[in-house]
Structure 1
Amino acid sequence: MIEVKHTNDGKRGSFEAFIDGTHAGLMTYTWAGEDRFIIDHTEVEEEYNGKGVGKEMLYSAVDFAREQGKTIIPLCPFAKATFQKHEEIQDVLVNKV
């Protein structure tokens, strides 16, 4: 099971994934004003590639954006590609991809 922990200091934040307590991935973001944030980087540990870690972190970011009434700018290639593939999460985009 993938556990995602969210941190946010008001300027930057991250979604960090763990599998059985082991660090599996990291997605970072930067605030762009009060209403939106930019996903700027996603990394998944090599041994967890293809196990849905990146997608789980992105879906956590989408849930956070929805709960807080914020929008997302996906600059990271992984995030941008995932948004393009999954129409059901595009409601949180600043501009549709």
Structure 2
Amino acid sequence: MTDPAITKETGPTKGRYVLHEGGEEAELTWSVVSPTKIIADHTGVPDSLRGTGAGRRLVEHLVADARASGFTVIALCPFVASMARKHPEWADVFA
């Protein structure tokens, strides 16, 4: 699943998914552990986007990207960890 409102920014040790909507920006950030593992460490959603599903969309994008790119995710971010627990069908992605 791809979401056209979400972009991916990557660097050698860190990266983020950014959701642009209504002039606002929500993000899910990660740190690179290895070529096949990342740590999802933060999800930030501005007040104006809370309750709109912005955070969920970011995590869904993370899951789809992990499956397509062949990496696993350590969910250090409490929101991402909570979403992983609620979706056992994502167990293949979360370490």
**Normalising by structure 1, what TM-score?**
0.88
Q: Which 5+ residue runs of structure 1 have no aligned equivalent?
A: none
Distance in 2 between residues matched to 1:93 and 1:26, nearest whole Å: 19
Task: Tell me the residue number matched to 1:35.
Answer: 36
Q: Read off the aligned partner of 1:9 and give its amino acid letter.
A: G
Which letter does structure 2 place at the counterpart of 1:68?
Answer: S
Mapping for residues 11-22 of structure 1, pairs under 5 Å? 11-20=13-22, 22=23
Moved beyond 6 Å, runs of 4+? none
Deviations 1:57-89 (A, max 9, x none): 111111111111100000000000010001122
SS of 2:91's equivalent in the other structure is: helix
Contact map agreement 1:16 1:25 (CA 8 A) in 2: yes
Between the aligned partners of 1:86 and 1:79, the Cα distance in structure 2 is: 11
User: Which residue number in structure 1 is paired with residue 81 of structure 2?
Assistant: 80
Give the letter aligned to residue 74 of structure 2.
I
TM-score (norm 2): 0.90
Q: In 1, distance between residues paired with 2:33 and 2:10?
A: 13
User: Any unmatched runs of 5+ in structure 2?
Assistant: none
Aligned partners of 1:39, 1:55: CA distance in 2, in Å?
A: 14
Mapped to 1, the partners of 2:14 and 2:61 lie a distance apart of: 16
CA RMSD of aligned residues (A): 1.5
Indicate the SS of the match to 1:32.
strand
Write the distance in 2 (CA, Å) between the matches of 1:23 and 1:47. Answer: 8
Number of equivalences: 93
